[in-house]
Amino acid sequence: MALLEVNHLNISFGGLHAVDEFHVSIEKGQLYGLIGPNGAGKTTIFNLLTGVYKPDEGIIKLDGVDITGKKNIDINKAGIARTFQNIRLFSAMSVLDNVKAGLHNRNNYGTMTGILRLPKYFKVEKQMDEEAMRLLKVFDLDKEADYLASNLPYGKQRKLEIARALATNPKLLLLDEPAAGMNPNETEELMNTIRFVRDEFDMTILLIEHDMKLVSGICEELTVLNFGRVLAQGETSEVLHDPQVIKAYLGE
């Protein structure tokens, strides 16, 4: 059974069909790419998968469970986490506290326990500190744990955003243009990071990306979108040599 199964997904905005009969099947442990020209509907699909938008039609199943139209927080708890093209960190919070924010969807103390600072609060907070530091160490960010997130270099902010997403303990990680704004050296490091995350955390990853070197270097399968519809789908090497893809996406 596929980890993510999407069928007949549709959404329109003001009469414009932004996503039209989208379908995809992603197996556990895959590195899967979603590519296409600007405005093709890629981020809209991420928003549908994460509950930002509710589809007009279609079914989204995660690990066999129907999550179609559920709230963002419920989808995150079910096992989908994401990053954003424009990095969204809590810039006024520390690096450590950014990761702890991701861990809070798994905390097990009530509101009154937190307000009154009962013993369970301190126990859970200590456990979250330890788990957050473990994640930061994985990404070589532990030495910057007390820094403000906004003071990190751009590439490390990307890593922090991924670490925070992983703190929610997802089954599926969505990366929205993770290489945006990176230089070639940073992109190469990012490729290694994504492979590491897949292997170390036994993670399934779906990414949107325009950097074709990154796409061809790490994605095992691809879906190409154009005007909200699936233009091509399959193994990366075959899809990137599809004449339709070359014409519509690569502009050749």
In our burial notation (b when 16+ CB lie closer than 10 A, e otherwise), range 115-135 reads: eeeeeebeebbeebbebbbeb
pLDDT, average across residues 166-194: 92
Among 151, 169, 187, the domain boundary falls at 169
Shared-domain flag, residues 187 and 238: yes
Shared-domain flag, residues 68 and 99: no
Structural tokens at position 61: 């199943």
pLDDT band at 183 (very low <50, low <70, confident <90, very high): confident
Shared-domain flag, residues 178 and 234: yes
Shared-domain flag, residues 147 and 190: no
Shared-domain flag, residues 74 and 179: yes
User: Is the distance from CB of 190 to CB of 155 less than 8 angstroms?
Assistant: yes
**What CATH number is associated with residue 49?**
3.40.50.300
pLDDT tens profile 127-143: 888 899 999 999 999 99
Mark out the alpha helices in 139-207 (DSSP H runs). 154-166, 184-200
pTM check: above 0.85 = yes
Give the burial class of 183: count Cβ atoms within 10 A of its Cβ; 0-12 exposed, 13-18 middle, 19 or more buried: exposed
Among 114, 135, 169, the domain boundary falls at 169
Shared-domain flag, residues 127 and 182: no
Say which residue, 2 or 247, is predicted with more confidence.
2
Sheet hosting strand 80-82, strand order edge to edge: 80-82, 172-176, 204-208, 31-35, 221-226, 229-235
Shared-domain flag, residues 94 and 35: no
Shared-domain flag, residues 31 and 64: yes
Count of other CB atoms within 10 angstroms of residue 137: 13
Among 169, 197, 227, the domain boundary falls at 169
User: Is the distance from CB of 95 to CB of 152 less than 8 angstroms?
Assistant: yes
Query: How many whole angstroms separate alpha carbon 214 and alpha carbon 184?
Result: 10
pLDDT tens profile 37-54: 888 999 999 999 999 999
User: Is the distance from CB of 219 to CB of 194 less than 8 angstroms?
Assistant: no
pLDDT tens profile 211-230: 888 899 999 999 999 999 99
Say how many domains are in the chain: 2
| Whole-number average pLDDT of the chain | 90
pLDDT band at 1 (very low <50, low <70, confident <90, very high): confident
Shared-domain flag, residues 92 and 209: no
Query: How many whole angstroms separate alpha carbon 63 and alpha carbon 195?
Result: 22
Q: Minimal CA–CA distance to 174: which of 197, 200, 149, 141?
A: 197
Shared-domain flag, residues 197 and 245: yes
Shared-domain flag, residues 66 and 109: no
User: Is the distance from CB of 232 to CB of 242 less than 8 angstroms?
Assistant: yes
Shared-domain flag, residues 178 and 249: yes
Domain extent for 164: 88-169
